[in-house]
Amino acid sequence: MATASVRSKKFSRLISSEPTLVLYQGEFLQEALKKERVTENEIRSVLRSQGVSSIAKVKAVVMESNGKFTVVQEGSLSNPDSPLSNVRKVDE
């Protein structure tokens, strides 16, 4: 399957997902949570495990294509140098 995904972009998109924002600028993104089947409590647990004391201090939480979460303290969706530049934002 790995060979097929490397050779075919269409096939690659079918078997892997893009990183998805589930929290942005202190706001839970309800449509993204629903689409990714994640709860607010799961995100809060991730934040606690990262030592985050306040959601307001977090720029974003990204659900990576492997199902793990990344907590981003700084960054912008529009800045090409940002770690958020290739992250999909599900429209609400």
For the chain, 92 residues long, the average pLDDT of each consecutive 10-residue run is 60 71 94 96 96 91 95 78 79 58
Question: Residue by residue, what is the 3-state secondary structure of 11-41?
Answer: HHHHHCCCCEEEEECCEECHHHHHHHCCCHH
Q: Give the pLDDT confidence score for residue 91 in this predicted structure.
A: 67
Q: Which residues pair with 27 in a beta bridge?
A: 24
Residue 36 amino acid letter: E
Give the Cβ contact number of residue 20 at 10 Å. 20
Strand order in the sheet with 20-24: 27-28, 20-24, 60-63, 69-72
Q: Give the pLDDT confidence score for residue 7 in this predicted structure.
A: 65
Q: Give the pLDDT confidence score for residue 64 in this predicted structure.
A: 95
Domain 17-92: which topology?
A: CRO Repressor (3.30.240)
